[in-house]
Chains A and B, each alone.
Chain A
Amino acid sequence: MRMVYSVDDQLVIRGHEFKSRLILGSGKFSLEMTRAVIQHGEVEMVTLALRRANVGGQENILEYIPQGITLLPNTSGARNAEEAVRIARLAREIGCGDFIKLEVIHDSKYLLPDNYETVKATEILAKEGFIVMPYMYPDLNAARALVNAGAASVMPLGAPIGSNKGLCTKEFIRILVEEIELPIIVDAGIGRPSQACEAMEMGVDAVMCNTAIATSGNVAQMANAFKQAVEAGRTAYLAGLGRILTGQAEASSPLTGFLEE
């Protein structure tokens, strides 16, 4: 039997390869825990809100992220495309690289992404050479527009940020998995390792997690649990899920038995 996993199976985003399919959000952590979480989760990519980057000042998150980890600065705080573009450029100026997690949010209550403005910002930033990873509401039309605008991945939400509700948008993410050729990364809403596993099983390419780890009893241990869940889900996807019984009785004689040779 052919085993399809581990070494060759990498997450590839615009030519950049990652062994880990767990992306860590950093906004809700105690900074001193960041290193341990990265280590125990074997994480290779960490987001950071540019608005939290206190360069040269106290509790600068950049100082807590070890060398060798890919920074994924986000545009949190941007209310429209124009603001997101400016934040992305600032991130590049302070040396955060070309990756940008694009967040355009016009609602302080639910923090739901504005797909329309996100597409506009993606187009501008992609032309400027950014590797744009847009956070979006899982809408197929918007996802196609993001592809056309030059996105490097698509990051649909599973549930509202911080809600830990899991894959509320599962059916819509499944459609993106089927139709969009870019890496699909579930961002927001994942509350438990089992939900991360479930997302990976259905074929998403990676999951992002913050609140669920940051607010757990032992963050390093929970990071490790997520790592294992993501790996298990990925392996299951690659193996091909078994036949799922629908609960309906199967006909005792074949329905197609009447066909003549």
Chain B
Amino acid sequence: MTGRENHMVYMEGMEAIASDMMEKVTALVETYDYQQYTVEDVKRALQKERLSIDDYRAILSPAATECLEEMATKATAETRKHFGNSIQMFTPLYIANYCENHCVYCGFNCHNRINRAKLSLEEIEEELKTIAATGLQEILLLTGESRHQSGVEYIGEAVKCAAKYFSTVGIEIYPLNSDEYTYLHECGTDFVCVYQETYNPDKYEQVHLRGPKRIYPYRFHAQERALLGGMRGVAFGALLGLGDFRKDAFAVGLHAYFIQQKYPHAEISFSTPRLRPYINNAKNNANDVHERQLLQVMLAYRLFMPFAGITISTRERAGFRDHVIGMTATKISSGVSVGVGGHKEEEKGDEQFEIADPRSVEQVHQMILGRGLQPVYTDYVRV
């Protein structure tokens, strides 16, 4: 059957870099048995000033769900220590939703009959101006994963335009080769988000049926290629609930940990997308990621890597977002439209997912102040 390539073999044109990162992470994840950890293990881990990899295993275990309050207390102190009162503000802008991958869980996947669109450069500029008028200084540009419809040069032009209006430009697009990252860096972006979705290669193969995204190692090494290409910061994440979320969260942390060790200057951040459990699901599935489990993962990221940024998206409800900023999250989006465009004009293409927090920039700004925290619009100077 065409399209069902070996998911561990690079396709033509995909750059292979010399790195043992994937082997290191995979070996540790395979042997992670979270059932063996007890509440005592968790409490012992929480008493430490710096958590080891084994402590990280403990605080991601089911036993640790009984210690969420203690974890939250320690995480709040760590967040304050490293970030003070600061909460960074940003918004995403979807410029295209064409996709050539078949990922069984995704609203953008190439078999879904949704309205596809791609903004022209003029439309992008109008959207950017409208967003900039809200006061935001940081933008994340997103596309679906289609090299053909939204090529690197198109994204580069969008980045150049965004850099005129924003001090910080990030991209969340398909993985690139390092020279392409260099090109986009030169266009004006310094931060790259790539989410591995799941760090279990077998599961990864089952849910990525077709398209370049099917190639597990190429995606895995994206952050490293981005850094080699001159990017300053990289974001990590798994789509929690797609595979075994505890193992995936463990892998995300390790991936970031080893990258920072190899590239000490890299600014590290995490995102925590999740598949929501079915509400009417009578059976309580151990792999469901309810808010409690999501919070556990977010707290574990903070405790394991206290200096890393953590972003909370509008996929979560306002009441959740408001409480996790300052405790574990350090960055929050607002004024979000997840369709293509939608800030200046009507959306031109359909959404990838639904948002649960539609508040404006001003509303989120006021909420942050109300919680005794400081909204930060710019925290980066490009030189």
- Residue among B85, B167, B365 making CB contact with A30, cutoff 8 Å: B85
The answer to whether B84 and A108 touch across the interface, beta carbons within 8 angstroms, is no
State the main secondary structure of chain B at its contact with A.
Answer: loop
Contact B307 A31 (CB under 8 A): no
B374 located at the interface, meaning its Cβ lies under 8 Å from any Cβ of chain A in the complex: yes
Interface residues of B in 340-383 (CB under 8 A from A): 365, 369, 372-381, 383
Interface residues on B, range: 20 to 34
The stretch of A15-23, A52-60, A147-155 in contact with B is: A52-60
Do the beta carbons of B86 and A28 come within 8 Å of each other?
A: yes
Type the 1/0 row for A219-238, where 1 means its CB is closer than 8 Å to any CB of B.
00000000000000000000
- A27-B84, A28-B84, A214-B84 known; A108 and B267 CB under 8 Å? yes
A164 to B84, CA, bound (A): 12
Residues of the B chain whose Cβ atoms lie less than 8 Å from the Cβ of A106:
264-265
Asked whether A59 and B80 contact (CB < 8 A) given A51-B381, A86-B383, A109-B264, the answer is no
- Are A30 and B378 touching (Cβ within 8 A)? no
Residues of chain B lying within 8 A (CB to CB) of residue A58: 135, 365, 375, 377
Say whether B82 faces chain A, with CB atoms less than 8 Å apart.
Answer: yes
Binds B, one of A77-85, A119-127, A129-137, A171-179: A77-85
B residues near A (Cβ < 8 Å) are: 80-86, 135, 137, 167, 232, 260, 264-268, 305, 307, 365, 369, 372-381, 383
Instruction: Select one of A30, A52, A109 contacting B373, CB under 8 A.
Output: A30
* Smallest beta-carbon distance B264→chain A, Å: 4
What's the least CB distance linking A190 to chain B, in Å?
Answer: 13
Distance to closest chain B CB from A133 (angstroms): 19
Chain B residue at minimal CB-CB distance from A50: B381
Contact assessment for B374 and A29 in the assembled complex, using a CB-CB cutoff below 8 Å: yes
Judge if A90 is at the interface, Cβ distance under 8 Å.
Answer: yes
Chain A residues within 8 Å of B86, by CB: 27-28
A210's closest neighbor in chain B, by CB? B84
Contact B377 A107 (CB under 8 A): no
From A57, A90, A109, A211, B84 is in contact (CB under 8 Å) with A211
Decide: B264 and A108 in contact? CB cutoff 8 A: yes
- Find out whether the CB atom of B264 lies under 8 angstroms from the CB atom of A215: no
Q: Is the C-beta of A146 less than 8 angstroms from some C-beta in chain B?
A: no
Q: Give the chain B neighbours of A77 by CB distance below 8 A.
A: 380-381, 383
Tell me whether B266 and A108 are in contact (CB under 8 A): yes
Interface residue A87 (Cβ < 8 Å from any Cβ of B): yes
Given contacts A29-B85, A79-B265, contact A52 B378 (CB under 8 A): yes
In contact, A78 and B383 (Cβ under 8 angstroms):
yes
Query: Looking at A53, A58, A87, which has the most chain B CB atoms within 10 Å of its CB?
Result: A58
With a 10 A CB-CB cut-off, give which of A54, A86, A108, A162 has the most chain B CB atoms: A108
Report the Cα distance A136→B80, complex, angstroms: 24
* Known contacts A29-B84, A57-B135, A59-B377; is-contact A108 B383 (Cβ 8 Å): no
Find out whether the CB atom of B379 lies under 8 angstroms from the CB atom of A52.
yes
With the chains together, A234 CA to B298 CA distance in Å? 44
Contact A108 B381 (CB under 8 A): no
CA distance A211 to B78 in the complex (A): 12
A39 at the interface (CB under 8 A from B): no
Q: How far is the CB of A8 from chain B (nearest CB, A)?
A: 36
Q: Name the A residues within 8 Å of B268 (CB-CB).
A: 108
**Alpha-carbon separation in the docked complex, A107 to B369 (Å):** 30
User: What are 7 A-B contacts with C-beta separation under 8 Å?
Assistant: A28-B85, A32-B369, A57-B135, A57-B378, A77-B380, A109-B307, A163-B81
Query: A51 to chain B: which residues have CB within 8 Å?
Result: 167, 378-381
**What's the least CB distance linking B25 to chain A, in Å?**
18
Given contacts A79-B232, A90-B381, A108-B307, 4 further A-B contacts (CB under 8 A): A32-B369, A58-B365, A108-B267, A108-B268
The 9 lowest CB-CB distance pairs between A and B, nearest first, are A28-B84, A86-B383, A58-B135, A51-B381, A107-B264, A30-B374, A54-B378, A30-B85, A162-B81
Query: Which residues in A have their C-beta under 8 angstroms from that of B137?
Result: 54, 57
Q: Are B376 and A52 in contact (CB under 8 A)?
A: yes
Most buried by A among B81, B82, B377: B81
